[in-house]
DNA sequence: GACCAGGCACATC
DNA sequence: GATGTGCATGGT
């Protein structure tokens, strides 16, 4: 059993299932993935509530909504002008390529779809992979700031290495299992929030057993 | 008041 | 290819 598998088992035992992604529909996952870029989830929840209250949490509704109205509704999520444009770009792509249907998008070849998502304005590797894994249930591992930080703290890979380098590590070490990837990434985020911020709390972290003994602070 | 949060596009070297 | 900057709200 490799180290990444053991870290997963350890986190799952300690923290338990995270039940990601918190959303009612695949489309809502995608919207949330764009809005949570460099933003705490609590603020995204407010924005999603605003959209729902305005009757706008669907591809058609958001496609027809004026961009300035969209921006004002998602204001609590921050970067609202930028994100309104990014949401519009994704929805235009969803409309033109899949007639507004996440289900039709799901039937696209995964590798090809990833390339297409990456070509949409405002969708980078993490957002694309979040949509693939959490909205479309494809076995693609999502790398985020917490994942990089935790692996870097454990000297498994330097934090400044590229997104793809981190992702390759997981794809090589683990079975391509959607449920496993779902849970593992969510556990990294949960563990990162609690134990691995700028001021780490390694003494309380379930992963401390994987640290060199000189670094357990 | 500083720092941070489930990134990305764009400019510049 | 690597590095720097703008985007913005809300919590600690």
Q: What is the DSSP string of A59-114?
A: HHHHHHS-HHHHHHHTGGGSSHHHHHHHHHHHHHHHHHHHTT-HHHHHTS-HHHHH
Give alpha helix (H) positions in chain A. Answer: 3-15, 26-35, 41-53, 59-64, 67-73, 80-98, 102-106, 110-118, 125-130, 145-153, 163-173, 178-195
Cβ atoms within 10 Å of A149's Cβ, excluding its own: 17
Q: What is the pLDDT of residues A34-84, one digit of tens each?
A: 999 999 999 999 999 999 999 999 999 999 999 999 999 999 999 999 999
Q: Which nucleotides of B are covered by protein (CB under 7 A)?
A: 3-10
What is the mean predicted confidence (pLDDT) over A184-188?
A: 98
pLDDT number for residue A103: 98
Are the C-beta atoms of residues A90 and A28 closer than 8 Å to each other?
no
pLDDT number for residue A199: 82
pLDDT number for residue A145: 96
Q: Which nucleotides of C are covered by protein (CB under 7 A)?
A: 2-3, 6-11
Question: Is the pLDDT at A157 greater than 70, yes or no?
Answer: yes
How far, in Å, is the CA of A152 from the C1' of nucleotide B11? 29
Give chain A's mean pLDDT.
96
Write the CA distances from A10 to A83, A141, A205, A215, integer angstroms.
Answer: 36, 18, 10, 19
From CA A22, how far away is CA A8, in angstroms rounded?
A: 21
Question: Is the pLDDT at A169 greater than 70, yes or no?
Answer: yes
pLDDT number for residue A214: 61
Write the CA distances from A117 to A105, A106, A113, A216, integer angstroms.
Answer: 11, 12, 6, 41
How far, in Å, is the CA of A125 from the C1' of nucleotide B7? 9
User: Which residue reads 């999502």 in tokens?
Assistant: A142
Cis (ω within 30 of 0) for the bond into A21?
Answer: yes
Question: Is the pLDDT at A184 greater than 70, yes or no?
Answer: yes
Answer positive or negative: Cα dihedral of A195, A201, A204, A208: positive
Question: Is the pLDDT at A33 greater than 90, yes or no?
Answer: yes
Question: Which domains, ranges and CATH numbers included, belong to chain A?
Answer: 3-19+142-211 (1.10.1670.10), 26-135 (1.10.340.30)
pLDDT band at A211 (very low <50, low <70, confident <90, very high): confident
Any idea of the CA torsion for A157, A175, A18, A51, to the nearest 10 degrees?
A: 90
Question: Is the pLDDT at A128 greater than 70, yes or no?
Answer: yes
Question: Is the pLDDT at A213 greater than 80, yes or no?
Answer: no
Lowest mean pLDDT among A37-51, A155-169, A191-205: A191-205
Are the C-beta atoms of residues A1 and A171 closer than 8 Å to each other?
no
What is the mean predicted confidence (pLDDT) over A12-23?
A: 96
Nucleotide in closest CA–C1' contact with A126: B7
Question: Is the pLDDT at A216 greater than 60, yes or no?
Answer: no
Question: Is the pLDDT at A135 greater than 70, yes or no?
Answer: yes
What is the mean predicted confidence (pLDDT) over A163-186?
A: 97
């Amino acid at each position: 059993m490799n180290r990444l598998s053991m870290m997963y088992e350890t986190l799952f035992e300690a923290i338990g299932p995270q039940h990601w992604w918190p959303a009612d529909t695949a489309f809502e996952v995608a919207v949330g993935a764009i809005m949570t870029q460099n933003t705490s989830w609590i603020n995204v929840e407010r924005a999603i509530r605003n959209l729902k209250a305005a009757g706008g949490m669907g591809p058609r509704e958001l496609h027809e909504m004026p961009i300035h109205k969209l921006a004002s509704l998602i204001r609590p999520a921050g970067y609202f002008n930028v994100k309104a444009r990014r949401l519009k770009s994704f929805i235009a792509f969803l409309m033109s390529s899949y007639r507004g249907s996440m289900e039709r998008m799901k039937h696209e070849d995964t590798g090809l779809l990833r390339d297409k998502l990456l070509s949409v304005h405002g969708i980078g590797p993490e957002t694309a992979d979040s949509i693939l894994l959490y909205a479309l249930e494809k076995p693609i591992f999502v790398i985020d700031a917490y994942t990089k930080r935790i692996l870097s703290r454990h000297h498994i890979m330097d934090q400044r290495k590229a997104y793809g380098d981190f992702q390759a590590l997981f794809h090589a070490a683990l079975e391509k299992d959607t449920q496993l990837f779902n849970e593992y990434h969510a556990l990294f985020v949960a563990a990162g929030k609690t134990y691995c911020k700028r001021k780490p709390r390694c003494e309380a972290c379930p992963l401390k057993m994987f640290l060199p003994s000189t670094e357990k602070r």
